[in-house]
Amino acid sequence: MRIGLIGNHRAFAERLGEAGIDLVVHPAETANKAGLDRSGIAIVDRYEAFFAELEHPRLFLLDLPLGAAIDRTIDEAYVTMEPGDVVLDPSGSYWGDTLRRFRRMRHRSLFYVDLALLGEIPTGIVLAAGDRRGIELATPFLERLARPDGVICAGGAGAAHYALMVRDAVATSVVHALSEARQLLEAYPNDPEPDAVAGAFWPAGPHPGPRASWVLDDAVRLEAAIPLLAQGIMLEIAHALDEHRSREPAPRVGPFVHPDDIL
């Protein structure tokens, strides 16, 4: 199987090679060279060169940093693609930005599929969202990235990135809940063993991600009551302030817009 990789921000070239994927790479707006010197990888400096290297319908995987770099790359790349090509976006972008990109691609009859990669390639879970046909075309590739039965359709466009945002919020709240639980275990007055108990009760959970703060505004606008998640996020902000460290939210391009007004 051969796909096009645009960018190499998270060194996907190396990880995809380990999963047995042949790559044609356009480095785009990234200087990360990890894995690009592996045999079997073709490097192209023009998006038009993908035509000669890949068969239609082509699969393109974006490996770009969050924010405006994705839109700049799309501006350059999508005009060289053909109807029916599939663009896969595992960036974890703000879901509103993803919906705007999805709409733009759809106007050229291109499929834009957002992904959430949970765990390590190729033994984790992959959430995919977008048009059903685009997900179907991408499924043979996605199955190379996930454990057996690990490819899950998350819903319509933006749903995988939205789910990743919710996961980050849950992980943030869990961290603070476990911290309180440990304090309670340590407070037991008769020789407690908090490490042993905590290890038996609560296996390691996902690490808190940078998207959690997006949830606060979205929950208000989408009328979802999330007092526990909101408290966890605010506790994390307070913790950062106490430690005099910056806690910048993950970058996003556009503001909240209701999906009905985007699509």
Q: Which domains does the chain have, with CATH numbers?
A: 2-155 (3.40.50.720), 162-242 (no CATH)
**Is residue 72 helix, strand or coil?**
helix
* Model pLDDT, residue 246: 79
* Model pLDDT, residue 117: 95
3-state secondary structure string across 101-161: HHHHHHCCCCEEEEEEEECCCCCEEEEEECCHHHHHHHHHHHHHHEEEEEEEEEECCCHHH
The DSSP secondary-structure symbol of 9 reads T
The pLDDT tens digits along the chain (263 residues) read 899 999 999 999 988 988 889 999 999 888 788 888 877 799 999 999 999 999 999 999 999 999 999 999 999 999 999 999 999 999 999 999 999 999 999 999 999 999 999 988 888 999 999 999 999 999 999 999 999 999 999 999 999 999 999 999 999 999 999 999 999 999 999 999 999 998 899 877 778 888 999 999 999 999 999 999 999 999 998 988 888 887 788 999 999 999 888 88
Q: What is the pTM of this model?
A: 0.93
Listed in sequence order, the residues at least 6 apart from 222 whose beta carbon sits closer than 8 Å to its beta carbon are none
CB 109 within 8 A of CB 100: no
Task: Give the whole-angstrom CA distance, residue 50 versus residue 25.
Answer: 9
Task: Give the whole-angstrom CA distance, residue 111 versus residue 237.
Answer: 37
CB 40 within 8 A of CB 17: yes
Task: Give the whole-angstrom CA distance, residue 105 versus residue 88.
Answer: 12
144 is written with which tokens? 């190379």
**Is residue 20 helix, strand or coil?**
coil
CB 47 within 8 A of CB 76: yes
35 is written with which tokens? 């894995």
Task: Sort strands 59-62 and 22-26 into parallel, antiparallel or unpaired.
Answer: unpaired
